Chain A
C-alpha cells in the first residue's frame, strides 16, 4: 500500500499555499509535515482526508481497498477532538468504535493505552485539555485503518502522553501502517521522514 500525492496545489483565500507538491508514503513509513504557521500543513492533511478538494493534482492510494475512498481509509485527527461533552469517556470511544466499524474489544485497549481507563465513566466535559486530546487520539486505536492523519497531535499533551503517542505510531508503522503528521514539535517517531512546507515546498 502506498499513498501518492501527485503535483498537488492548494489555493486558500486567493493565496497559493503550495503547488507542484509530490510525495509518496509507503507501508510502515511516517511522514512529518513541518513548516511555519500558515504553510499549509493542515490544508494538506485535510486534502489527503478528502475534506478539501485540491486546486490541482491528486491524492491516491495504491494497493488499498479500491472500493473505498482515500478518506475512508484514513483516521483523521484534526485540531478538534470530536468529543461529545455530554457523553462519558467510554461512550465517546464506544461510539467511534461502532461507527467506524471496529471490534468492541478495542475500546478498552485504546482507553488503557492512552491512560484513560480510570476516567471511563466521567462525562467528557470534565476532562482537561490534555485528557481530551488523549481521548481524541484514542480514536485511532478503536478501529483499524491503514492511514493515520494527525494534525499537531501533541498539542497540550504531557511528556508521558507524547511517549504513548510515539509508541502507538511506532506500533502502527511496525505493522505496515502509514502515518502523516503535521507538527511544530520534534516528534520521536521511529524512521520518520520530514517534508518541509512553506518557502521550501518546491524543493522537497
Chain B
C-alpha cells in the first residue's frame, strides 16, 4: 500500500513542479466557457438555459486534454517499465495514476466550474448540484480516461485518437451530469436518479477501468 501512495505523491509532486498540464486544462476550460457567450450574444436567458450543457461539455474536453500525458511521460522516461517490475500490480499502478489525475485535474476543474457558472448566469440553486455532480463524476472520467490513455500511449500525437475513443464513452456521464444540473434549474425531481447514475458510472469505472488500463499497458510494453 505504501508503494501506491508513493506513486500518487510522486505524480502530484511532478504535476505541481511542472504545472503545465493542470494549467493548460484549467486555462482551456476558462477560455472555452468565456468565448462561448461572445459568440452567442448577451442574452442572459439563453445563456442560463444552455449553461449546464456548456459547463459540462467544456469540462469533459478540458479533462480529455490532460489525459493524454497520463502514461506517456512514464513511457518516455522509462519509468513505466520499472513500475511494471515493481511490487505493485499494473492494475494498482493504473489506479494510482487515475487517482493522481483526478486530484490534479478533476478536483481543480470541479472548483473552477461554479466560478464559470457565474459567467453564464447559472441560477443560484444550481451551484450546489453542479459541485456535487462534478465531484461524483470526475473520478469516473479520470479512471475511464486511463483506459484511453493506456491504449494510445505509444501513438504519436495520440490526442485526437484519444478524443475519438473516449468521447463516446463519456456520453452517459455527460447526459446524466447535465440532467442533474438542469433538474435543479428547472425545479424538477430528476436530480436524485441522475445523480445516483453518475455515482454508479464512477464506481463501475473505478473497479473495471484499472483492469482494462493494465491490460492495455501490458500490451503496449511488449
Q: Are B85 and A76 neighbours in the complex by a CB distance under 8 Å?
A: yes
List CB contacts (< 8 Å) of B72-88 with chain A. Answer: 73, 76-79, 81-88
A198 at the interface (CB under 8 A from B): no
Evaluate whether A99 and B3 lie within 8 angstroms (CB atoms) in the complex, with A71-B85, A79-B78, A80-B77 already known.
yes
Q: Are A84 and B79 neighbours in the complex by a CB distance under 8 Å?
A: yes
Point out the residue from A71, A91, A95, A98 that lies within 8 Å of B84, measured CB to CB.
Answer: A71
CB neighbours of A96 from chain B (8 A): 82
B112 at the interface (CB under 8 A from A): no
CB neighbours of B45 from chain A (8 A): none
CB neighbours of A52 from chain B (8 A): 221-222
CB neighbours of A49 from chain B (8 A): 81, 85
CB neighbours of A78 from chain B (8 A): 78, 81
CB neighbours of A51 from chain B (8 A): 81, 84-85, 221-222
Q: Are A82 and B87 neighbours in the complex by a CB distance under 8 Å?
A: no
CB neighbours of B18 from chain A (8 A): 86
**CA of A87 to CA of B81 in the docked complex: distance in angstroms?**
19
Q: Are A72 and B87 neighbours in the complex by a CB distance under 8 Å?
A: yes
CB neighbours of A139 from chain B (8 A): 82
List CB contacts (< 8 Å) of A93-116 with chain B. Answer: 95-96, 98-101
Point out the residue from A79, A84, A100 that lies within 8 Å of B87, measured CB to CB.
Answer: A100
CB proximity of B18 to chain A, nearest CB, Å: 5
**CA of A99 to CA of B18 in the docked complex: distance in angstroms?**
21
Residues of chain B at interface, number, CB under 8 A: 24
A83 at the interface (CB under 8 A from B): yes
CB neighbours of B10 from chain A (8 A): 84, 87, 95, 99
**CA of A113 to CA of B74 in the docked complex: distance in angstroms?**
26
CB proximity of B25 to chain A, nearest CB, Å: 17
B17 at the interface (CB under 8 A from A): yes
Q: Are B85 and A82 neighbours in the complex by a CB distance under 8 Å?
A: no
Q: Are A72 and B86 neighbours in the complex by a CB distance under 8 Å?
A: yes
**CA of A48 to CA of B81 in the docked complex: distance in angstroms?**
13
**CA of A51 to CA of B221 in the docked complex: distance in angstroms?**
6
Point out the residue from B14, B81, B86 that lies within 8 Å of A100, measured CB to CB.
Answer: B86
List CB contacts (< 8 Å) of A58-84 with chain B. Answer: 71-72, 74-76, 78-84
Point out the residue from A76, A91, A99, A100 that lies within 8 Å of B13, measured CB to CB.
Answer: A91
**CA of A106 to CA of B14 in the docked complex: distance in angstroms?**
23
Closest chain B residue to A84, Cβ basis: B14
**A interface vs B, CB < 8 Å?**
46, 49-53, 71-72, 74-76, 78-87, 91, 95-96, 98-101, 136, 139
Q: What are 30 A-B interface contacts by the 8 Å CB criterion?
A: A46-B81, A50-B85, A51-B81, A51-B84, A51-B85, A51-B222, A52-B221, A52-B222, A71-B85, A79-B78, A80-B77, A80-B78, A81-B77, A83-B77, A84-B14, A86-B13, A86-B14, A86-B18, A87-B13, A87-B14, A91-B13, A95-B6, A98-B3, A98-B6, A99-B7, A99-B83, A100-B86, A101-B3, A101-B87, A136-B78
Query: A86-B13, A87-B13, A101-B3 known; 18 other A-B pairs, CB under 8 Å?
Result: A50-B84, A50-B85, A51-B85, A72-B87, A76-B81, A76-B85, A82-B79, A82-B81, A83-B77, A84-B73, A86-B17, A87-B14, A87-B17, A91-B13, A95-B6, A96-B82, A99-B88, A101-B2
